[in-house]
Each structure stands twice: as C-alpha cells, then as structure tokens.
Chain A
C-alpha cells in the first residue's frame, strides 16, 4: 500500500494490540490485513474495520492493519481512533 504524509496511525506494536495506518481519499475502500492469526481471524478483523468505516460513512480509504493478536474491541477502537484523526486531525485532547 502507498501512503502519503497525510496518512494517520493509531495503535501500537505491543503484544495483543494492532497498528492501523489509514489514509482517506483515492477511490474505493482498500483494506489490507497482516495478522499473526490471519488464517483464523483475518475475516473477523476485516469485518471490524468495515463496521467502523460504515459508521463513519467512509467510502474512499486505504487501511493497513498490522495485527498482533488484538481482540475485536481493540480493532474497532483503533480503527475509530484512526478515522477520527484522519477526519478531525490529531489535536491535544
């Protein structure tokens, strides 16, 4: 995936966490998932990402998920943080 300097990041590379790199724009939704539990949970992770994108009605976006075994709630939270940072900027508080 190609990200410009406008891309935002959320999460971390700690165990049981995940890192989201997200850039609004381009054409269509492109979601790439790299997970240590890809075979078993790749689909579930994708669903989590789509759920949040739908909530915020994001149509054109690139999302890279680098997952280290995060549970669904953490995936959704991190994607939401990334989306908000992309839309509203990362301000103090």
Chain B
C-alpha cells in the first residue's frame, strides 16, 4: 500500500495533485456527472476515408496531446507502431500514449519513447523493452497503470481526456461502422475500444479491410467515427489469436485446478443459474474442465459467463452448459466465430464489463471468478503486475474489477515457482486488495480469507486440504529457506491505480 510520504511525491506530479490513496471498504463514490461527449456533425456525403497524413492534419494533432489505442490485437498488433511512426515523421512530440494494454510486440515503439515522441503513458500493463524503459524512470512522469474498469471510468469521468483515438478495425465500412469479427485480422470483441470511441475528441478507424457496403455486424457505430484510413495490414493473425489453449498437463497445476473445482462445488455459488468467470491459461481451463464435468454429472446449467472467451468457453456455451456470454475480449478463432454467429454470445464494452461507475457493471453479477496471481500475501493482497523482483511483466487487466464484483474470488497459484515463494508477508506490488479476495488455492492446500467464515463453514468435512494462510506461508518458507529482502528505490516510475482512481501502490524505479 502507499503511505503519506509516497502520496506527497505523487501530488507533486503534474495532473496527479488530487489523487487519493486507496482505502479499504466501500469507498467508491460517484459524485460527478459523466464527462461531456464531443458533439459531432458531418455534412451529408462527407468522405471519411483519407490517407493518414491528411487525417493527422485534419484532427489537428499537436505536441502534448493524448492518443489512444486498444489492445484487442494482442501480440499481432502493428497499428500502434504504424500510426506513431507517421506522427513522428510529422515532427509531433511529447504525446501521452493511452493504450488499454501493451505487449511485447509494442517494443517497436521504443525508438519513439527514446526520442521523446511519446513522453507519458497510461496502460493496464507493459513488459519487455518498454517495461524496462518505463521502470528506468525515463518517461517525463511516472506511468499510470489502470484496470480495465478503471480506464473506462477515467475516460467517462473526463479524468483521462483523449484527443485522438486510433481504433484498429478488422472490418470497417466507408461510413465508419466497425467490427472485430470479420476479415483476415479478426480479433473478436473490441470492447476495449468502445469508451475511446465514445469520448475521444476525434476517432480514427485504421483498417486493412475496408468495405464498400454497410456492415451487417456493428460493434462501434458510424456515429462515433470521424475518419477512416486504410493500411496494408493491421496485424499478424498468428499474434492476434492463439492456437487452442491446452489444458495444463503439469501435474502440480492439475492438483491446483482439481482443488479449485472441488472447493467451488462445495459452496453455495455452484448452482443452477450461476454466473461465472474463468481466466485464460492452462490452469484456468483445467479448472473449467473439472467444473464442466460436475455440471454434467449434476445436470446443472449456468445462466452466464462473463469475461474473456476462448475455445473452451465456447464449447460449454454450445453444449448448453452456459446460456449466455458477456464478452469484452476473445482469444482464438473459435471464440471470434462464436461471437459473430451466436446471438447469445454478446460483445460488451470494457466499461460495461468492469467500470464501477454505472448502475452495475457485468462483473457484479459474478457468483464466482477464478483468477491467477504472480504473488499473494498473508492479507490476501494480489500482485499480477510485477515479478518477485519488482520488474514489470504483467498487467492489472480486469483482475481487481472481477475480484471486486464476484461474490467469491478464487485465486489459483503455485505456492512456489522454482525456489521462489509466491506467498509472502507483503506482495511486491498490490494490485488487487485483500478485501476482495476470498480463497487461495495452491498445490499444498487451500486458505480461506478469515473475512469469509461463511465459505469456511461450507468446506467442513469436504476432504479438502484447508489450511490457514499462515500455515501455507510456513510451508512456503520451510521449502524456500531464508530469503534476503530486496531493497527498492524510492523513486516512483509508475503509479498503480485501483479501479476507483485511488492509488493502491507504486512501481519502483530500477536500473535494468
């Protein structure tokens, strides 16, 4: 967490003067009105399709502005580099890059960071060379890390003002309608781009699949899109979609997944009509697999799934085990096709998914969510952003949002990774606060947050290896042995925001 001396330093950063520190409990207060959306007008017959240079001039892009991109193209994205390269060639600099997340593929942006074309960022996560650059403190001011819900909130309250949103569009018609489900660079749901499309001053669609006739599937409507530009390719399909995510065959991970499924099945949240979320990754899919078997055995049907979708979720949807899916992101071709063709598989914006400032985001209807972690501590705080050395390697994503919304949050995590214990006295970076985390499942046993005596009561006599969090920590420590504490620099390289905009932790500067 953050203390007053850290907050003092944060208040000295331009634009961060009013940031508050995270506080436990239901402290979210929606007191303002939403930010004003730009009023747009286009004369009848206005041509939207232009070359990029024209558009950059037309939107009046200048030094110091904020540009945004979505990350639905994941590791296949080429749009960010293409656009920023064109911007750099115009001599524009000192921009703020607001990306819903940044992956290894955005390492291509490094030269633009080094030459000052981009001097500030806000994102859900960054890694690799960009991550190193940020962590060396080389930006004009610390990077801001937001959750998916938090970013949507920041946009909709006006805290994050976007001058120009560049929306990578797998399919776009000449009127400006966009979808992510058609075309060679299809990526599925473009929920992460929706808040940008609604609130940015100027919205530019960037497509490699321009259609002459109006689309029959619209994710972002023409009413929000000002300009369209065509490029050869918006992304590499092999990086956009993964192959099928295989169920983990690591025996220890299977143990964790089995325990997680047994645990869930023992609680009141496993019932007909439940709403759930399973993350992606081998262990999450394995857990989903065990839950699926129990659902089949007990003739159970879930009302809905919420969150990112891959082949396994679609299988359950098509089997009738899930009635509907609310989807902000798709990971493979099966998921994309399902979104396109199945009316019960619905695309939702990042805001609808996770923004706490609404009549209720979809994470609020979750009975349970199964998430992962890079680290956890004895107060059930979770880190998904940095590794055990404090190095940026992950993303906050929707983790804190789902954890806050779900009635039961289950974290699956190995107790040790190699020699490194993952259960600590204090996580290196707090991203999801312990108050919203209910159960930790490791290969050495299960610990229930003492705040949840109700869950503990359900598990009595259920032949599960229930331990206290301190017992698990003791096991971790006995195996790992004596650890030398790491000293972190006091200099702030990044600010980690909770979904309501309060500061929950910082990223420390270090030399890589």
Contacts and interface: CB of A to CB of B under 8 A. Distances in A.
B285 to A, nearest CB: 24
Given A71-B480, A71-B481, A72-B481, A41 B419 contact: yes
Please tell me the size bucket of the interface on A: 10 to 19
Interface in A62-83: 68-72
B163 to A, nearest CB: 42
Interface string B92-121: 000000000000000000000000000000
Interface residues of B, number: 12
Contacts of A44: 481-484
Contacts of A39: 389, 484, 486
B88 interface: no
A71 B486 contact: no
A60 interface: no
Given A15-B418, A16-B418, A71 B484 contact: no
Interface string B409-429: 000000000111000000000
Contacts, number: 39
B388 interface: yes
Contacts of B480: 41, 71
A40 B418 contact: no
B486 A40 contact: yes
Contacts of A69: 418-420
A43 B419 contact: no
A43 B484 CA distance: 7
B479 interface: yes
A15 B250 CA distance: 15
Nearest to A72: B481
A41 B421 CA distance: 11
Nearest to B486: A39
A81 to B, nearest CB: 19
A40 B479 contact: no
A71 B476 CA distance: 11
Contacts of B418: 15-16, 36-37, 68-69
Contacts of B479: 71
A49 to B, nearest CB: 13
B424 to A, nearest CB: 11
Contacts of A42: 484
Nearest to B484: A43
Contact of B388 (A15, A40, A72): A40
Contacts of B389: 39
B486 A37 contact: no
B484 A16 contact: no
Interface of B: 388-389, 418-420, 479-484, 486
Given A16-B419, A39-B486, A69-B418, 6 more contacts: A40-B388, A40-B420, A40-B486, A41-B480, A41-B482, A72-B481
28 contacts: A16-B419, A36-B418, A37-B418, A37-B419, A37-B420, A39-B389, A39-B484, A40-B388, A40-B483, A40-B484, A41-B419, A41-B480, A41-B481, A41-B483, A41-B484, A43-B482, A43-B484, A44-B482, A47-B482, A68-B418, A69-B418, A69-B419, A69-B420, A70-B419, A71-B419, A71-B479, A71-B481, A72-B481
